[in-house]
Structure 1
Amino acid sequence: MAKNSIEFLLTGRNALFTDPITRIGGEKTSYHLPTYEALKGVCKSIYWKPTLIWYIDKVRVINPIRTQTKGVKPIKYHSDGNDLAYYTYLHDVAYQVQAHFEWNMHRPELEADRIDGKHYSIAQRMLEKGGRQDIFLGTRECQGYVEPCEFGSGVGAYDELDELSYGTMFHSFAYPDETGIDELHARLWQPTMKHGVIEFIKPSDDLEQDAINGLPNQFIRKMTAKTFELDSNIQNVNQTQEAI
């Protein structure tokens, strides 16, 4: 395995990878598969620095896809009190995930932090400890857990299924600090599961090329990227250590 790649088992009692279409009436229903963006968020919770970008290579569905509907009381946005709604979650989920990171070339101010081996070693240690931050499966109320694994090991519920296609799904967001343009875009795609494995189309910083590769996108709104100053951050850390 390359020195920028990790493999892990992702499990949880419930998951909610919300289909945006179902949110119009105040309800929420999960996609049957985890989205690229949700898995990327899991990788960021394991370990992340603005120096790098996580890319999800593929995911393997281990447990059977089952849903569970629950009555919830979400907070009303335009008045006091709570509302009533039904959320449809995925129940008892388990996935094997393979991902890797690459340097974010739109962060030239962090070029000095592109150190081979450093970030990989930290990412491996954080994965062994269950992540640097809390792991969520789509939403805050769905707690997840990660641990190292070998991708493809063990028995999956859909190993014998030749092919299963899904309709149009949300893929990921194209953020300004990853594309170099001051705009937020949403990418879409049509996934296909083969023998329990979904291989993701790798996004790029060229939205036109993404569309050609099978990732059409939709403009959301204007957005600017936050800037980082590596020397300033190092100086603040040194000052803190001297004070201690």
Structure 2
Amino acid sequence: MSSPIILEVSGDYALFSRPEMKVERVSYDVITPSAARGILEAIYWKPQIRWIIDRITVINPIRFTNIRRNEISKKASSPNAALVNQGGNDNLGIYVDQERQQRASLLLRDVRYLIHASVHILDTRLDRGGEKVPANQAAGKHLEMFKRRARKGQAFHQPYFGCREFPVAFKLHEDDSEVPKPHESLLGEKDLGFMLHDIEFDQNPKTKAVKSTIPHFFRAEMTDGGITVPALPFKI
């Protein structure tokens, strides 16, 4: 069964950091489902929906390159922020000149993917008037709104490949005959190892505050450039 959304995304560089690399950033071989979902949400998002990534197709050959980037060695901590909110005189500012560090990154270059996705309805109420509609009708309306925005190149914020300095160019495919084919070097089967699937947020049901985050992984296997993404292992 084909997905209702096929979005082509491309860029000069991409960095989907592996969590097991503690200091130097090392990218996965391909885009992760959570990163793909972030691109879709940058184009169109509503609290009533959740994007589901069904399949990822790699178009360009997988190529890596090394760069060094300026980063900072620390970040603002939650305890300090809470202290300031309570009237304390702690300083939340970070002086870049004092905290700057150069770190190496192993990233992808000249990337191009097809994101096959569908929409999951969390709430069948539509924004205008809050009326209840059938789930399939609500899904169709949200998909049409996404397609309209994608055709015009509109986005709530600039989508990116893992880091904000690596912007994404996107194009909606509505005709299967125009969909590009994977490069011949991607033909065959390849085991990409364990990859981040998505992150489950454990929230307080009353305040909606996040109590903890649980990462979920899956064994990514690429066949002729395509990766079938399994269903989410947790309740949305």
State TM-score, norm by structure 1.
0.73
Distance in 1, matches of 2:185 and 2:57, equals 9
Paired position in structure 1 for 2:169: 145
Give the match's secondary structure for 1:190.
strand
Contact 1:45/1:131 (8 A) holds in 2: no
- Give 1:96 deviation, angstroms: 1.0
Paired position in structure 2 for 1:14: 13
The counterpart of 2:111, out of the listed 70, 77, 93, is: 93
Distance in 2, matches of 1:137 and 1:113, equals 36
- Structure 1 residues 18 and 200, CA gap change in structure 2 (3 angstroms): same
- Structure 1 residues 204 and 76, CA gap change in structure 2 (3 angstroms): closer
Query: 2:35 aligned with 1:38, yes or no?
Result: yes
- Give 1:104 deviation, angstroms: 1.3
* 1:16-54 Cα shifts (integer Å, max 9, x gaps): 0101112x1x21011001111000001101100010000
- Which consecutive residues of structure 2, in runs of 5 or more, have no partner in the other structure? 76-94
- Give 1:57 deviation, angstroms: 0.7
Query: What amino acid maps onto 1:161 in structure 2?
Result: L
The 5 Å alignment of 1:104-115 reads 104=122, 112=131
Distance in 1, matches of 2:34 and 2:201, equals 11
- Give 1:183 deviation, angstroms: 4.3
Q: How many residues align?
A: 202
Query: What amino acid maps onto 2:221 in structure 1?
Result: T
Distance in 2, matches of 1:182 and 1:56, equals 25
The 5 Å alignment of 1:109-148 reads 112=131, 116=138, 117-132=140-155, 133-148=157-172
Distance in 1, matches of 2:185 and 2:114, equals 13
Distance in 2, matches of 1:10 and 1:59, equals 11
Distance in 1, matches of 2:109 and 2:228, equals 22
The 5 Å alignment of 1:50-199 reads 50-77=47-74, 80-104=98-122, 112=131, 116=138, 117-132=140-155, 133-149=157-173, 150=175, 153-158=179-184, 161-176=187-202, 183-199=212-228
Distance in 2, matches of 1:108 and 1:204, equals 26
Query: What amino acid maps onto 2:224 in structure 1?
Result: H
Distance in 1, matches of 2:229 and 2:132, equals 28
Aligned CA RMSD, in angstroms, stands at 3.0
State TM-score, norm by structure 2.
0.75
- Structure 1 residues 113 and 45, CA gap change in structure 2 (3 angstroms): farther
- Structure 1 residues 21 and 49, CA gap change in structure 2 (3 angstroms): same
Query: What amino acid maps onto 1:36 in structure 2?
Result: P
Distance in 2, matches of 1:160 and 1:151, equals 20
- Which consecutive residues of structure 1, in runs of 5 or more, have no partner in the other structure? 208-244
